[in-house]
């Protein structure tokens, strides 16, 4: 059996929310920050608006859900490519549920991925649907979280144009 391979990832986070007085009170600073990684564009981040964040910036909860959705899609597309399922469109409208506890902490209780897949031929539909389970098993991010990640996929063939 091959040995496990290790991968190292690096990011940099810079808080940009000091409006002059630092964190001298809960209301005196912005939650804005920038996330970067070598060779990638900046992600403008903040807290969820419920926690005094900016609605026009990504918050960590959204980024976690997006990472789950991205990882599933990339695993799924790989499986489709090597199993003869030609995917021509993919959209996921994911949803995550987080519970905020009375002590101010919180945790996700679940995530539901809802991939809508378009395939090249109706005869690919059954396999296209089945490959979501294997994609879930392969997803690095889903394998790293301590809450269930469900998926409710749909698949349809590419619409044919009227003759």
Res 2 pLDDT > 80: no
* Domain segments of the chain as ranges: 1-58, 60-157
Cα–Cα distance, 17 to 21 (Å, whole number):
10
Least confident of 19-33, 51-65, 143-157: 19-33
pLDDT at 21: 82
Identify the residue with better confidence: 12 or 1: 12
The number of residues making up the chain comes to 163
Identify the pLDDT of residue 163.
58
Query: Tens of pLDDT along 75-132?
Result: 999 999 999 999 999 999 999 999 999 998 999 999 999 999 999 999 999 999 999 9
Predicted structure pTM score: 0.88
Task: Convert the pLDDT of each residue in 52-82 to its tens digit.
Answer: 889 999 999 999 999 999 999 999 999 999 9
Mean pLDDT computed over every residue of the chain: 91
Kindly report the CATH number that applies to the domain delimited by 60-157.
3.30.300.20
């Amino acid at each position: 059996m091959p040995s496990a391979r290790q991968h190292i990832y690096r990011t940099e986070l810079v808080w940009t929310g000091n409006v002059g007085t630092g964190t001298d009170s809960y209301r005196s600073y912005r939650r804005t920050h920038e996330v970067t990684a070598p060779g990638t564009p900046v992600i403008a981040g903040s807290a969820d608006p419920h926690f005094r964040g900016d609605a026009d910036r990504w918050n960590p909860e959204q980024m976690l859900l997006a990472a789950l959705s991205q990882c599933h899609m990339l695993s799924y597309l790989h499986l489709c490519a090597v199993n003869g399922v030609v995917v021509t469109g993919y959209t996921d409208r994911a949803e995550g549920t987080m519970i905020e506890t009375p002590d101010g902490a919180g945790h996700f209780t679940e995530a539901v991925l809802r991939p809508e897949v378009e395939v090249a031929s109706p005869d690919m539909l059954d396999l296209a649907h089945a490959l979501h389970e294997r994609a879930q098993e392969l997803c690095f991010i889903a394998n790293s979280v301590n809450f269930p990640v469900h998926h409710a996929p749909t698949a349809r063939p590419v619409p044919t144009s009227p003759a």
